[in-house]
Chain A
Amino acid sequence: MNMEHNPQPAWRRHLVVGVFGLLAAVLVWRAFDLQLTDREFLQDHGDQRYLRVVQTEAHRGMITDRHDEPLAISTPVSSVWVNPSQLVQNRGRWPELAKLVDMSEDQLNTLILPRRKRGFLYLKRHVQPAVAEAVAKAAIPGVHLAGEYRRFYPGVEIAAHLLGFTNVDDRGQEGIELAFDAVLTGTPGKDRVIKDRLGRVIEYVERIQPAAPGKDLALSIDRRLQYVANRELGKAVQKHKAMAGLMVILDVNTGEILALVNQPSFNPNNRAELKGEFFRNRAVTDLFEPGSTIKPFTIAAGLESGQYTPATRIETAPGFFRVGRHTIKDIHSYGNLDVTGVIEKSSNVGSTKIALSMDADILWNVFNNVGFGHLTQVELPGETNGRLVNHKHWREIEHATLAYGYGMSVNALQLVRAYATVANGGMLYPVTILRREQAPQGMRVMSQTTADAVSLMMERVVQTGTAKTAQVYGYRVGGKTGTVHKNIQGGGYAEKDYRSLFAGYLPVSKPRLAAVVVIDGPRAGQHYGGLVAAPVFAEVMHEAARILNLPADALDGVPADSGVRMASSPAKPAPAGPRIQ
């Protein structure tokens, strides 16, 4: 190498190499520093920029009737949410936004401005699909759509009390929705993912929580019977200007509730209409004195005691009877009746005499065994126990009044369960609102002989007694009416405020359906159970028998037009025009 061709001194070269070396060392040191000391912090921030947790929605399970017809369905809807901190930087587009979600600008101001530091705020929930589309199209920064589910009840009011409803977050608030909330609710899934610049998921990192959609629930309800029962009950409540009404239909051989309706009803699809007082499912929550509908069980006790047969004579003249300071009265003096006659005419005097002639425990045992005073344990919220005082604490007057259903209280399910027990020959089946896949374990609570004898007596009530209005063409019907003075708050009974009851079943030769009708506070003049409640039973059962194809068991000897009311078929002649057979 020639020194003249290389005029720079050697130290310059060393300096350059040294500086570069130093820089490289600084870089390496910095790299180590970042890797070792600040690693966690930096990794965290890096992840935040592309790692995201995404939720997969899990919809709420469907509620169906026993034939899988939907009664409650969740369907996806959109909700508009905003990021207030981002939105306040775009005041210019607020008028447009206000218009989109149908709010005034003032409303927007009061909603958003106080929350301007926040990152999330629901602006409007469950909007129409058209609104959602418009919002998406407008693409205002800070305004987003979120997928949510909304509950719909296609049957509208027919099973409103039974099903209950959900709140805006799709959680059950009443009825089945509340009782089975845990089953119906799904668990949303959570996945940690990596998203690219455009927000597309490009990699699944881990599954934090798998999505589990809510389970469907099949009720024991038959939507067709539910509809008919609701329609006829509604008509009756209106016609008699009653405060309320309810009807329960039970399958006597399985304990399944086939229909459970309350009137007045409400529309569960319209949240604005929902007001507390209406939601009560009176069939399970409300207690009432069963009145004369209890008499078949008094008679059953008489038969079980061995002191009576259906033909035993009982003197009911002169139509009243003194127990201590109290007088028990009949509407008329029925004179000398047999036991069948006592129930057919619904004689208070007769049943009291029967009850008082036997030991208290015999009567109590029958009442207790058929389930009065015991919860039915149906899977619905708010069931009340009812009251049946133990016979050890009875005074004579209680022993007497229990014979015709005062001094005790029951709910409608207990009453219909007791009637089903008589109808099916003495077996008590647990009551359920869910579809049974197999026959339940029953419990014998009354001898077959007694149950059959009482059943035949109840058939007489419908044939020739107080419940002729409960007849159904083609079928043998058993049942009993009741007309109860309502309790006054603070004690005593209202003179002119009644509860009209009917409980019955059909077909008597091979019972399938038992039902209870309760009309609360009829104010249009009529109040006897036979005039107010029994016709509802007849109308509903006529259609129910047709819908379920029950074999007729009374075609012989029943004139085709006797005591038959055809459900809502107008009495006018068949209209001209096409008719489908």
Chain B
Amino acid sequence: MTRLLLLAVLGALVFLSALQVVTTRYETRLLVMALQALKTQRDDLEREWTQLLLEQSTWSTHGRVETLARSKLNMILPRAAELKHIRS
């Protein structure tokens, strides 16, 4: 009789652990999908970052800044006579 009971308990445990495997597997898949989504997001952000970096360094090209400073802002480089040196 006790053996039968033991068998039943073990059987129930096996069944429970089988259920546990199923849920764990399901949860793993959810997490993997979440990870996948985050990776995609990371890649997208990185893509955006490099493009912004590229854009920024293109806009800040010295040639462009110099042209704009001269033409739009009417800036000039001071001539030697206009320079004041401060002795430290």
A and B are interacting partners: yes
Residue A201 at the chain B interface, CB threshold 8 Å: yes
Is there an interface contact between A203 and B29, defined as CB atoms closer than 8 Å? yes
The interface bits of chain B over 61-88 (1 if a CB of A lies within 8 angstroms of the residue's CB, else 0) are 1110000000001111111110101011
Is there an interface contact between A204 and B32, defined as CB atoms closer than 8 Å? yes
What is the minimal beta-carbon distance from A565 to any residue of chain B, in angstroms? 9
A569 contacts across to B, CB distance below 8 A: 76-79
- How far, in angstroms, from A231 to B61 measured CA to CA in the complex? 13
Within 8 A of B (CB), among A106-160: 152, 154-156, 158
A203 contacts across to B, CB distance below 8 A: 28-29, 32
Known contacts A75-B51, A154-B58, A575-B74, A473 near B83 by CB under 8 Å: yes
Contacting residue for A560 out of B63, B76, B80, CB 8 A: B80
Within 8 A of A (CB), among B19-55: 28-29, 32-33, 36, 39, 43, 46-47, 50-51, 53-54
Known contacts A155-B61, A200-B33, A577 near B74 by CB under 8 Å: yes
The total of interchain contacts (Cβ-Cβ below 8 angstroms) comes to: 88
Residue A223 at the chain B interface, CB threshold 8 Å: yes
Is there an interface contact between A73 and B74, defined as CB atoms closer than 8 Å? no
A74 contacts across to B, CB distance below 8 A: 50
Is there an interface contact between B50 and A75, defined as CB atoms closer than 8 Å? yes
Is there an interface contact between A578 and B33, defined as CB atoms closer than 8 Å? no
29 A-B Cβ contacts within 8 A? A57-B43, A74-B50, A75-B47, A76-B43, A152-B54, A154-B54, A154-B57, A154-B58, A154-B61, A156-B61, A200-B36, A201-B32, A203-B28, A203-B29, A203-B32, A204-B32, A224-B62, A555-B85, A560-B80, A560-B83, A564-B79, A566-B78, A566-B79, A566-B80, A567-B77, A569-B78, A579-B74, A579-B75, A580-B73
Nearest residue in A to B57 (C-beta to C-beta)? A154
A323 contacts across to B, CB distance below 8 A: none
Is there an interface contact between B54 and A578, defined as CB atoms closer than 8 Å? no
Beyond known contacts A75-B47, A76-B50, A569-B78: 14 more, CB 8 A cutoff: A56-B39, A75-B50, A76-B47, A155-B57, A155-B61, A158-B63, A202-B32, A204-B32, A566-B78, A566-B80, A568-B77, A575-B74, A575-B76, A579-B74
Is there an interface contact between A69 and B47, defined as CB atoms closer than 8 Å? no
What is the minimal beta-carbon distance from A347 to any residue of chain B, in angstroms? 32
Residue A529 at the chain B interface, CB threshold 8 Å: no
Interface size (B, Cβ < 8 Å)? Answer: 31
- How far, in angstroms, from A567 to B36 measured CA to CA in the complex? 55
Q: Report which residue of A70, A224, A231, A561 has the largest number of chain B beta carbons within 10 angstroms of its beta carbon.
A: A70
Interface size (A, Cβ < 8 Å)? Answer: 44
Contacting residue for B80 out of A56, A200, A202, A561, CB 8 A: A561
Is there an interface contact between B81 and A561, defined as CB atoms closer than 8 Å? yes
Per DSSP, chain B at the interface is helix
A473 contacts across to B, CB distance below 8 A: 80, 83
Nearest residue in B to A575 (C-beta to C-beta)? B74
Is there an interface contact between A73 and B57, defined as CB atoms closer than 8 Å? yes
Closest 9 CB pairs of A and B: A154-B57, A227-B62, A473-B80, A564-B80, A569-B77, A75-B50, A560-B81, A577-B74, A202-B29
What is the minimal beta-carbon distance from A217 to any residue of chain B, in angstroms? 15
Is there an interface contact between A70 and B75, defined as CB atoms closer than 8 Å? no
- How far, in angstroms, from A566 to B43 measured CA to CA in the complex? 48
Is there an interface contact between A201 and B74, defined as CB atoms closer than 8 Å? no
- How far, in angstroms, from A235 to B82 measured CA to CA in the complex? 25
What is the minimal beta-carbon distance from A154 to any residue of chain B, in angstroms? 4
Contacting residue for A201 out of B36, B63, B83, CB 8 A: B36
What is the minimal beta-carbon distance from B46 to any residue of chain A, in angstroms? 8
B57 contacts across to A, CB distance below 8 A: 69-70, 73, 154-155
Known contacts A566-B80, A578-B73, A579-B74, A227 near B85 by CB under 8 Å: no
The interface bits of chain A over 209-237 (1 if a CB of B lies within 8 angstroms of the residue's CB, else 0) are 00000000000000110011001000000
Nearest residue in B to A567 (C-beta to C-beta)? B77
Known contacts A73-B50, A75-B54, A202 near B75 by CB under 8 Å: no
Which A residues form the contact surface with B (CB < 8 A)? Answer: 56-57, 59, 69-70, 73-76, 152, 154-156, 158, 200-204, 223-224, 227-228, 231, 473-474, 551-552, 555, 560-561, 564, 566-570, 574-580
Is there an interface contact between A227 and B63, defined as CB atoms closer than 8 Å? yes
Is there an interface contact between B50 and A579, defined as CB atoms closer than 8 Å? no
A560 contacts across to B, CB distance below 8 A: 80-81, 83
Contacting residue for A566 out of B32, B58, B77, CB 8 A: B77
Nearest residue in A to B44 (C-beta to C-beta)? A76
What is the minimal beta-carbon distance from B1 to any residue of chain A, in angstroms? 33
B29 contacts across to A, CB distance below 8 A: 202-203
What is the minimal beta-carbon distance from B55 to any residue of chain A, in angstroms? 9
What is the minimal beta-carbon distance from A544 to any residue of chain B, in angstroms? 13
Contacting residue for B83 out of A57, A474, A577, CB 8 A: A474
Is there an interface contact between B80 and A474, defined as CB atoms closer than 8 Å? yes
Nearest residue in A to B33 (C-beta to C-beta)? A200
- How far, in angstroms, from A204 to B33 measured CA to CA in the complex? 10
B39 contacts across to A, CB distance below 8 A: 56
Is there an interface contact between A552 and B76, defined as CB atoms closer than 8 Å? no
- How far, in angstroms, from A401 to B35 measured CA to CA in the complex? 73
What is the minimal beta-carbon distance from B21 to any residue of chain A, in angstroms? 13
What is the minimal beta-carbon distance from B3 to any residue of chain A, in angstroms? 29
- How far, in angstroms, from A36 to B39 measured CA to CA in the complex? 41
Contacting residue for B76 out of A69, A228, A574, CB 8 A: A574
B63 contacts across to A, CB distance below 8 A: 158, 227, 231
Is there an interface contact between B74 and A578, defined as CB atoms closer than 8 Å? yes
Nearest residue in B to A201 (C-beta to C-beta)? B36
B73 contacts across to A, CB distance below 8 A: 578, 580
B78 contacts across to A, CB distance below 8 A: 566, 569
- How far, in angstroms, from A96 to B51 measured CA to CA in the complex? 30
- How far, in angstroms, from A73 to B58 measured CA to CA in the complex? 11
Nearest residue in B to A565 (C-beta to C-beta)? B80
